[in-house]
Structure 1
Amino acid sequence: MRPGRAAGAGAGLGALTGLLGVGGGFLVVPALVAVLAFEMRAATGTSLLVIAANSLAALATRGSTTTGLDWGVIAPFTGAAVLGAWDGKRLASRLSGSRLRQAFAVVLLAVAAGMLVDVVVRR
């Protein structure tokens, strides 16, 4: 692993996240697998740590804008997301690395198709 390559990939991901307003696993996992040659299982775990660090940094810089948050939505959403993450880990342990990559590719294509339909419909 070369730190310069990792820093370059991180800077590129940060720029895309800032520009597009998306990031997380949709960008981190492919970068870790394709650019840094991570195995799929290691990439998913590493991406979660990167996402957590980015989220904490964003929360710290935007702390003053947290007034008026609807905790009635945030709390159940967060709780359900945690439970879903546990279920996802359990399912991932049953799949091979190649199957995980295939599933990830299908999800990415579905999201891309949904975004394309949204853009076309909104025109």
Structure 2
Amino acid sequence: MRIWARVAACTASAAAVISGLGVSTTTAHAAAGSHPPAAAAAPARPLDNEPAPSCSDNNNTVPCWEYQTWYWTYDNCNKAGTNAVNADRGKFDNHVCVLTGNGVGVGLWLHKLHD
């Protein structure tokens, strides 16, 4: 008999938690719709579009932007970009990190001055 009482108590508790989450989510969605999002809350990103001209699109005519690889975060991309530019200043002078086309990662582009 004690087991059934515990099962009933657990079921009631779980139902209360689940229904509470539904109310919170609904309230949060309603509140989000009534106020515009704060501009300061958005993560800082250098670019939303790929830089141009791309080295692969202009027959590698310098100066151009050369795609390197992608990273999970802007922070990792910026660190790698800074390191790549500092490692070969004769070839590259700048870098940018751009959200990939599928929105999953961040692409690293280096500004190429010389081959």
Bin for the TM-score computed over the shorter chain? under 0.3
Higher Rg of the two aligned structures: 2
Structure with the bigger RCO (C-alpha within 8 Å, sep 6+) is 2
Q: Which structure has more strand as a fraction of its residues?
A: 2
Tell me the TM-score normalized by structure 2: 0.24
Q: Which structure has more helix as a fraction of its residues?
A: 1
Tell me the TM-score normalized by structure 1: 0.23
